[in-house]
Structure formats: C-alpha cells, structure tokens
Copies of this chain bind each other. A is one copy, B any other.
Amino acid sequence: MKIHAHPLDPITAAEITRAASILREHVRGSKVHFKVVDLIEAPKALVLAWVDGRVKTVDRKARVYYHVEGSQHLGKAQVNITQGRVESAVLLPDAQGPVDYLEWEKVHEACNTHPMVLEEVSKLNLPAEAKVVNDPWSYGTDDAKERRRLFQCYMYIVLNDDPEANHYSIPAPFAPVFDAHTLELLWIDRLPLGVGAEIDETQPWEPVAPVEYSASILGGEYFRKDLKPLLVEQPNGPSFQVQGRNVSWQKWNFQLGWNVREGPVLHNVSYDGRSLFYRVSMSEMTVPYGDPRTPFHRKQAFDLGDSGFGLTSNTLTLGCDCLGHIRYFDGYRTSGDGTPVLMANVVCMHEVDQGIGWKHTNFRNGRSSVVRDRQLVVQCTATVANYEYILAFILDQAANLHVEVKATGIVSTMPVAKGVQTPWGSVVAPGVMAVNHQHLFNVRVDPALDGHKNSIIHEDCVPVASDPDLDPFGCAFTVEGTTITKAGGYDLDVAASRTFKIINPNVINSVSGKSVGYKLHAVPSQMMMMGRHTFNYKRGIFASKPIWVTKYRDDELWAAGEFTNQSREDTGLAIWANRDDNVENEDVVLWYTFGVTHVTRPEDFPIMPCEKMSVTLKPSHFFELNPSNDVPRSSQQANRSTLDEGMDAPLPAATKDETASGQKCCVSVPRL
C-alpha cells in the first residue's frame, strides 16, 4: 500500500479499498452501498506535532458514508485505516448523505423507463428522432417531517445525436419525483408555464430550434475567423517545484490537499518560511432560486454538501483549460461497491502573467522599473449537472493569496409559455426561461500568522469629529480598529471602508510598530434574500452574513454543516458561531460569505460567459517592505515581445546596462 508522505495527503486507492473492506467486515453479511470513502483529516495538534517531528506517525482515518441493503438510514463510520478497525459507526435516520453516482444513475434510469413517465412523454408527440433525458436534482426541503430520500427529475428533449447537443434548450413541462431507496415514482409535478403556479395537462410539444453550443452542430462557418493564436512559452519550464503533494513556488510553500467534497485545499501555507495559514478552502455554497411556483421553490442546491466540488470535478485535458506549462493532480473516489475510482487530472496547476505587478518611473530622468505580476494558479472545474464552477487558488509574488470562483456553464432552464414574461427570471431562448437565483459561497480561512494564536479585527475609516484645533480644515480621518472577542457573524460596511484583518497580536512589525496581519479584501455582496422563517434561510444561515468568526475545533470545516442534502437547518456556522467562545488571541477561524445575485440574460445562454468573483488575502504590516521588491525587473531581454508595424514614431532604444538581476531596459524619454 502506497506510503503517504504527509498526514494530510488525499486518500489513496489502496486506502479506499482497505477502509471499505474494514467496514464490510464490521457490518457482516449485509450488502453495503458505499457513498463516500474519504480522508478524515487528523486533529490539528497531531498534524503540527508530526510537522515538528514530535510524533513520527499519524493514523490515517476514513470517513465512510454508506447504506446497508434494506435500510433507508444513512450510515456514517470512522474507520482507522492504519489500525484496521472501525472506531465508530452510526445510523443517522434524520440525515441524508450527498448524492453519489450510482444512486444518481439508478434514479436517472428509473425515471427514463417508468411507464407513467413514458406516458407523460408520449403526450408531447415528439418526432421519432427525439430522445428524452433527465437530471435528477436533490430535493430542496419544503417539509420538516419528510424523511424519504427524494430526487426531482427535470426532463429535457434531445433532438440531435451530437454528444454536445444542448437539451437544456428544450425543457419538458413535467418533473417526476422519485424515492432513491425504493426507486418508486412518488408523483409527477407538471411545471407551471405562466406567471402563477397554475398548471395544465401536458400538451404536444411545439417544435422549436434549440440554441446550440456544439462546434460540430454549429459547423465551421459559424465561427469567427480572425482570432490569431496566442501561445504561452516557458522555455526553461515552470518556476514551481512539486514533491508528492508539497508545492514550492516563489517563496510560497503549501501542501495541496484534495477531497471529494471541497476539491483542492491548501494546507500549511507559508511565505518565505513564515507561517500564514493552516488551511484555506472553499467551504460551502448554496444556490437558492427566487421562483415561488411549485415545484421550483424546491430548487436550492448546496453544491459542496449535496454533491461535492471534488466529486464533480472535470478530468482536465492539456491545452483546453490552461496555457503554458501545466501540472496535473489526481484524486480518488469510491464506487458503490467500495472499489476506488481514479479521477485523473482533477486539479491543474500552472503559472500565469497577470500584467504589471508594480511600476515606477523617475520623471526626472525617465528611468522606469517594472515587474510583471506572475501568479501560480491551482484550479479545478466542477460540473454540477448543467452548471460549472471554476475554483482557483491564486498566489502571487507580493504575497497575496486570491480565492477566485468563476461561474459558467448552462443556467438552469424551465419551460415558459410563448409570449409570457414572468417576474421570476428572463426568457433566454424561445420557450425557455432561466430563473433568477443567488450563488452564495463561503471561503474558510484557518489562519496561522507567525503562529496559531491570532485575532480578527475590523478597521473602519472614519472622519475625525470636527475639531478646530486639531483639524481646522476638516480633512482628517482615522482608522478605528475593533478586536473581535466573541465568536459570531459580522457585517461589512462600505461607507466606512470596513476591512477585516487577521492579526497576530504577539508579533510586531519592526518598521511600522503594528501587529503583523493579513487583511481580507472582501467584495460586499447581497446576502441571502429569503426570510428567517424559510427553509432556504434556516438551511443556509451562513449565507445571511458576510463575515463569521469561530474558535477552531477539529472537524468544523463546512459552513452549513456536514449534511446539507434535504437538510432542515444549518448545522455549521449557525451553531459554531453561536458558542460563547473567546476568539481573541486564540486559534481562530475566519469565514467569508460572498456571492452574486444572478439576474439572467439571453447573453448567459447557451453557455454563460464566466462571472468572476474573487477575494484576496493581502499582507498588512506582515512584511517590512514590498515582498515583491526582489522580483527581477521586467525586460525585453526576458520577455521578447514583438513590435507591431505602422509605428507613428521610433521606439526609444533600450539601454545596455543589463544586470543579472533585473535587466533594466526601461527608459522613457525625459520630458523636461
């Protein structure tokens, strides 16, 4: 069995096999359906002891979600792979595990073949070549007593054999609901086609041309012809080094974790040998839809907890997703029978040039110094049925860490009657409506700035109350710092340019005399709109405030709690941030909720141009000067740019004094 190099390495194929057999052993006789077999990260104290060399080995443990045949209760076990025993195994009658591919396939099949569904389909009078497919959706809670495992199957019509035919452009007007355990059809919802919830008998389909994105359907003539190739060349290879899952790049070092729920995770992040963060991860996301018409009110996905950014990650292909010199990383998931499944190339890592990093020109002589903004991008693409999320952790040379999400893919579509406009969304294609919705993400930052005792403060920029002596002209403003002492949820304040900052109150910057820190460059966004009495809100309380602060506890990783599928309440931050924990100069965790309210537009169809959201962790009094002051200066010698013809004026010649360090080619024409 492969020896893992680090206690936080992702689970291996052999470990999945072993964990599964240990559990099978434990349950005896009865057949087990495995949903998740993934790493349980060792307690922080133990990992740090291992890192310090105080302990030599750390047991590897697996979290196993499963069902035993006949039972409808979710099983959850903690399996000690190293010791070969089950440490705990419980049945959870009130929880639903995430979707797994096997059950998804069974529900999909059951829906596609059920006589009553076929009868409904037949009412559409589809042409002979037409096929019908369905996307089983997890079932947004609308009844606190519901304990069945439900899927609502949204159905679409496919008119073309092309593997990329866009069935989302032809939504069928009904949605069967299945029990995933019994595979019974419980009922068929007919979809409202007007403003209100009224429904009608299924009518024959009125032929309409789908809006396609498939290059082979569209044909060569469709495409613009004037885009010239742009290549990224790295003749000496990349600037990063990788050992196992340990990555070094430009003074950064981190351990690249991965799991089926979160996808890529950064552990033990340091810069220039100084500790920054113990763990940085995408923690959860919820997508409530604003359409009240049954059954659309049930659409509220938790795309990490219900399915998983790792589990749904694309196998990336060289040259399609990134330019330049690409490194790929794999992951493993379990199949239903407990055998490991390789998920090849689910994470890619490469460098990009992000334009000018900094520049100054001495106007007295025209001499310029410029550095480029080179970045390291660790990225995955999660495909959650119709929709894509591109998650990236981006490091730069100025010691900034960016967490970026791009929302793309195909908006969730439903049928709409011809000529009807509803208040719930936009018509994005003939007969197709895309409902307005919110994407509310939560990023979890477990800081370790020069150590594990940190504090969170917020700083407001406020005018000085008028004081004729101190401030005769009224221009003064100050920065008011407030240390957060109790766990809880906190608000941003644009009017005060409020900034939340992680500091280590025990370490002082020798230049500025202030505590070393990193600030969160938050982008204020609208929080969840649904009211406190709604299931949407109760299930996703993490999405009701942008900033959350908790005292660290092992296993508290996911903002909405462990089990979000058909959940009735938020069992994460709603609980953890409500403890009366002191968080000042403690092992503290900062959680940031951000997102976008997506008012749909035809321009989002068939595939939506990326909507980019990003948050930056930026050093603030952590370093004594610009950390990128030592980046070699940008020079033509290194960059080999080419000059476009038709110049209006000759270029100033580059000077010759090029040093090993920053070849200084940059001379402007003195202006004086």
Contact = CB atoms under 8 A, between A and B. Distances in A.
Given A216-B664, A229-B235, A366-B315, A326 B641 contact: yes
Contact of A603 (B368, B625, B630): B625
A88 interface: no
Contact of A358 (B323, B358, B408): B408
A659 B602 contact: no
A637 B436 CA distance: 38
A17 interface: no
Interface in A466-515: 466, 470-479, 494-497, 499, 509, 511-514
Given A101-B672, A227-B250, A523 B526 contact: no
Please indicate which of the listed interface residues A373, A642, A664, A669 has the most CB atoms of chain B within 10 Å of its own CB.
A642
A359 B663 CA distance: 39
Interface stretch (A114-122, A532-540, A564-572, A573-581): A532-540
B314 A361 contact: yes
B531 A463 contact: yes
Contact of A319 (B196, B365, B635): B635
Contacts of A632: 215, 223-224, 227
Given A345-B649, A649-B342, A651-B344, A607 B436 contact: no
A642 B300 CA distance: 40
Given A222-B661, A664-B215, A421 B231 contact: no
B374 A230 contact: yes
Contact of A381 (B315, B328, B359, B534): B359
Contact of A475 (B329, B509, B530, B651): B530
Contacts of A652: 315, 317, 344-345
Nearest to A517: B601
A561 interface: no
B464 A421 contact: no
Given A648-B328, A664-B215, A479 B599 contact: yes
A609 interface: yes
A232 interface: yes
A22 interface: no
Contacts of A623: 602-603
Given A319-B639, A390-B356, A326 B644 contact: yes
A525 interface: yes
Interface stretch (A50-58, A175-183, A423-431): A423-431
Interface stretch (A34-42, A61-69, A288-296, A441-449): A288-296
A494 B666 CA distance: 43
Given A369-B164, A639-B323, A626 B603 contact: yes
Nearest to A422: B478
Contacts of A101: 671-672
Please indicate which of the listed interface residues A364, A610, A654 has the most CB atoms of chain B within 10 Å of its own CB.
A610
A670 B225 CA distance: 31
A427 B570 CA distance: 44
A427 B229 CA distance: 48
Please indicate which of the listed interface residues A228, A344, A372 has the most CB atoms of chain B within 10 Å of its own CB.
A228
Given A314-B368, A317-B654, A361-B381, A478 B668 contact: no
A226 to B, nearest CB: 6
A228 B236 contact: yes
Contacts of A642: 234, 324-326
B219 A661 contact: yes
Given A597-B461, A603-B620, A661-B219, A525 B497 contact: yes
A52 B358 CA distance: 44
Contacts of A629: 213, 218, 606-607
Contacts of A369: 164, 213-215, 607
A601 B628 contact: no
A391 B529 CA distance: 36
Contacts of A130: none
Given A314-B668, A609-B628, A652-B317, A353 B164 contact: no
Interface stretch (A23-31, A77-85, A237-245, A582-590): A237-245
Given A359-B390, A398-B603, 12 more contacts: A218-B630, A223-B631, A232-B641, A292-B473, A318-B641, A319-B654, A330-B649, A356-B390, A373-B610, A400-B609, A430-B511, A474-B531
